[in-house]
Amino acid sequence: MGNLSRYIITRFFLTIPMVFILLSIVFVVLRIMPGDPVGTMLGGHAPESVIEKKKEELGLNRPIPIQYMDYLWQVCRLDLGDSMVFKQRVTKAIAEKLPATVELTTFGMIITFFFGIFMGAYAADKRRSPQDSAIRLYGIVIFCIPVYWLGLMLQLIFGIWLDILPIAGRTGPRVFASTFEKTGFYVLDTLLVTDFSAFGDVLIHLVLPSLTLGMVLSGIFIRLTRANMLDVLKADYIIAAEARGIGHRKIVYRHALKNAFIPVLTMMGLQFALLMAGAVLTETTFSWPGMGRLLLERIYLRDYPTIQGVIIVFALIVAMVSLIVDIIYAIVDPRIRY
């Protein structure tokens, strides 16, 4: 068996305890912590017998260890139960909302990469110049701006004052998503039915939310790329390339950036958690019908099975992304092996 496939298999098995622990944390937070979900759901004055009956129905008055085993088995079967408020499977509610969040985070990520990597590389190249200082300052300041406020300010400037970009939703009122919805990813769906006016409408709705999400994370990437580029630019092979007379720009953006990129990539796994958190807030600000909105709407409705389901899906995504990032890292850098 090759080295790489052995690495991938080991890494995969190491993900299992992580997922298990994350699931246990979700269970502890949502089931064992103080608070009476059923009582609150039925309103403050529901008679004791009604509350007991509902608990019986939901299996909430069995011993905790049995509930726990049952919960783990449920997740293994990818069955997240039924909503307590609507007649709906939790998995179905999530499947409807997940594409919106993935679409938003994907475009956010692209913007983060574009801003972060190129500005970081440029700052490292122009080290100690005013441009460098300006980019570093941008990196620190943008990191301290709450993503929801940045979203509101962009809405105010581009949506209200200049009135050039939409501030809410995934499509305009004249474009009906149901006419083209197949995969749930509107960018793909509109292309599949070759409806270009709808495609343009979907893209233009993506601009502000993904810009908001992307800008906030770009600060960290600027900082990481810059620090790594500074190290790489000092390396012997860069001086050698310089001596061979290769153009400066080509050395910085091709030779150096490629090597500085690897450590940045490993940080992506952790930054992805920030991206998810940012998406929850961005969705609320832009009325974006994704997982974050689903989570909050159901929190207001006290729909515990759905809340639990959404958080489990977030946990699974985080574990999966960290697995994928590590595998990509091992492919890109052959020195990484167990």
Query: For residue 82, what are the β-bridge partners?
Result: 89
26 binds other proteins (CB under 8 A): yes
Which of the residues 130 through 169 are near other proteins (CB under 8 A)? 140-141, 143-146, 148-149, 152-153, 155-156, 160-161, 167
Q: Which residues contact 309 (CB under 8 A, 6 or more apart)?
A: 80, 81, 90, 91, 93, 94
φ/ψ bin of 230: left (φ > 0), alpha (ψ from -120 to 50), beta (otherwise):
alpha
Which of 294, 330, 275 has its CA nearest to residue 86?
A: 294
The nearest distance, CB 3 to other proteins, in angstroms, is 25
Instruction: Choose between 239 and 320: whose C-beta lies nearer to other proteins.
Output: 320
50 binds other proteins (CB under 8 A): no
| One residue of 64, 69, 95, 277 binding other proteins per CB under 8 A | 277
Which of the residues 286 through 305 are near other proteins (CB under 8 A)? 295-296, 299-300
| One residue of 106, 259, 266, 284 binding other proteins per CB under 8 A | 284
On the CB side of 32, CA atoms within 13 Å amount to 13
> How far, rounded to the nearest angstrom, does the alpha carbon of residue 108 sit from its chain's CA centroid?
9
* Contact region with other proteins (CB under 8 A), list: 26-34, 170-178, 186-194, 232-240: 26-34
Instruction: Choose between 106 and 284: whose C-beta lies nearer to other proteins.
Output: 284
Instruction: Choose between 157 and 239: whose C-beta lies nearer to other proteins.
Output: 157
Number of C-beta neighbours around residue 210 at 10 A: 24
Q: Residues 79-118: x/- map of binding to other proteins (CB under 8 A)? A: ----------------------------------------
CA distances in angstroms from 41 to 46, 50, 51, 266, 297, listed in the order given: 9, 12, 9, 43, 14
Distance between CA 35 and CA 232 in Å, rounded?
53
29 binds other proteins (CB under 8 A): yes
Distance between CA 108 and CA 292 in Å, rounded?
15
**Which positions touch other proteins (CB under 8 A)?**
17-18, 21-22, 25-26, 29-30, 33-35, 140-141, 143-146, 148-149, 152-153, 155-156, 160-161, 167, 227, 269-270, 273-274, 276-277, 280-281, 284-285, 295-296, 299-300, 307, 311, 314-315, 318-319, 322
